[in-house]
């Protein structure tokens, strides 16, 4: 017999909702999840971009826009409705992702890797040699629940999004990306302020209170004079370089080291220092050697301990 807690309540003439006798689904309790279904959006995240636009007026005068990590396409839907549907202006939206998604009015899909130079070049081709005025990125890695690890993985994705943005965003443009708030968020703002005149951190009301996500809204793009762009290597470490070093493209000593598990992970860490060897113990290499029962240690003329067997 099935577990009673897994039985669903079905209403006559309607599909069975995600309601169990043990309680309601978190998504079913979410008003923005229900609104997304009724308004035809592919995900509730569409309202995050709508609420960001309410606060920062992001879409005014935009005719060229890039949506990074676009799938399943909820942010592209918002951009299409705001810039193309029912509008007289000739706007172009390029949605980039490793996975294809269903077509949207006026949205050009580009299946590609945002860490590759070829992807940036194809984006500019769609804009007929011009650059974008707005770049948005709502991408995020699979959440593990370990906040430090999630923050690190999200920062790597943000780094890739920012790198391709430097190639495709025109001066005075706007860049928006998801971040996971952590102990290094202040350092992130310092780095972004090297490139943008105004940097804000916003958490739209459609973002769940329990989530550590937020969004950086970077406006007034000001690329340093002479900045050398290279998608084949990580960005410069702006936090430890002067503006002059950034403008000349001089890399810092910052390296991204791989994680390698070493040693016996099943053992216990030593909490206290090892006690000093006693008089009848001898240090051999990194270990202690005890004399045999019929042996004892004496000092020779040089002052070093010497092993003497009894009966000799």
Binding residues: 73, 75, 97, 113, 138
Q: Identify whether 178 is a catalytic site residue.
A: yes
Q: How does DSSP classify residue 239? A: G
Structure tokens at 164: 């391709």
Q: In this structure, how many other beta carbons lie within 10 angstroms of the beta carbon of residue 101?
A: 17
Q: In this structure, how many other beta carbons lie within 10 angstroms of the beta carbon of residue 9?
A: 9
Structure tokens at 193: 């302020």
Residues in the chain: 312
Catalytic residue among 5, 28, 131, 178: 178
Distance CA 233, CA 163 (A): 9
Residues paired with 135 in a beta bridge: 66, 175
Distance CA 202, CA 154 (A): 16
Q: Within 13 Å, how many C-alpha atoms sit on residue 287's CB side?
A: 2
Binding residues for S-adenosyl-L-methionine: 73, 75, 97, 113, 138
b/e per residue 56-70 (b: at least 16 CB within 10 A): bebbeebbbbbbbbb
Counting DSSP H helices and E strands in the chain, the numbers are 8, 13
Q: Which residues are catalytic?
A: 178
């Amino acid at each position: 017999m099935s577990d009673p807690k897994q039985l669903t309540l079905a209403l006559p003439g309607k599909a069975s909702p995600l309601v169990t006798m043990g309680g309601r689904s978190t998504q079913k309790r979410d008003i923005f999840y229900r609104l997304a279904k009724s308004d035809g959006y592919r995900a509730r995240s569409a309202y995050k971009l709508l609420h960001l636009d309410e606060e920062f007026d992001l879409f005014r005068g935009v005719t060229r826009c890039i949506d990074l990590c676009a799938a399943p396409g909820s942010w592209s839907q918002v951009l299409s409705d705001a810039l193309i549907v029912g509008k007289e202006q000739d706007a172009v939206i390029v949605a980039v992702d490793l996975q294809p998604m269903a077509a949207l009015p006026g949205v050009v899909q580009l299946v590609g890797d945002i860490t590759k130079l070829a992807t940036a070049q194809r984006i500019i081709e769609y804009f007929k040699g011009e650059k974008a005025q707005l770049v948005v990125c709502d991408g995020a890695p699979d959440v593990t629940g370990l906040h430090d690890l999630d923050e690190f993985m999200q920062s790597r994705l943000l780094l890739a999004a920012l790198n391709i943005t430097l190639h495709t965003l025109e001066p005075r443009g706007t860049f928006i990306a998801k971040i996971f708030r952590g102990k290094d968020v202040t350092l992130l703002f310092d780095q972004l302020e090297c490139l943008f005149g105004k940097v804000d951190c916003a958490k739209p009301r459609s973002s769940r209170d329990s989530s550590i996500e937020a969004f950086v809204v970077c406006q007034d793009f000001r690329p340093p004079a002479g900045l050398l762009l290279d998608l084949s290597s990580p960005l410069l470490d702006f936090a430890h370089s002067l503006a002059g070093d950034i403008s000349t493209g001089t890399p810092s000593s910052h390296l991204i080291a791989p994680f390698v598990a070493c040693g016996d992970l099943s053992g216990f860490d030593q909490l206290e220092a090892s006690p000093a060897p006693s008089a009848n113990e001898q240090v051999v290499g990194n270990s202690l050697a005890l004399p045999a029962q019929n042996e004892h240690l004496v000092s020779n003329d040089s002052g070093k301990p010497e092993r003497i067997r009894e009966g000799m």
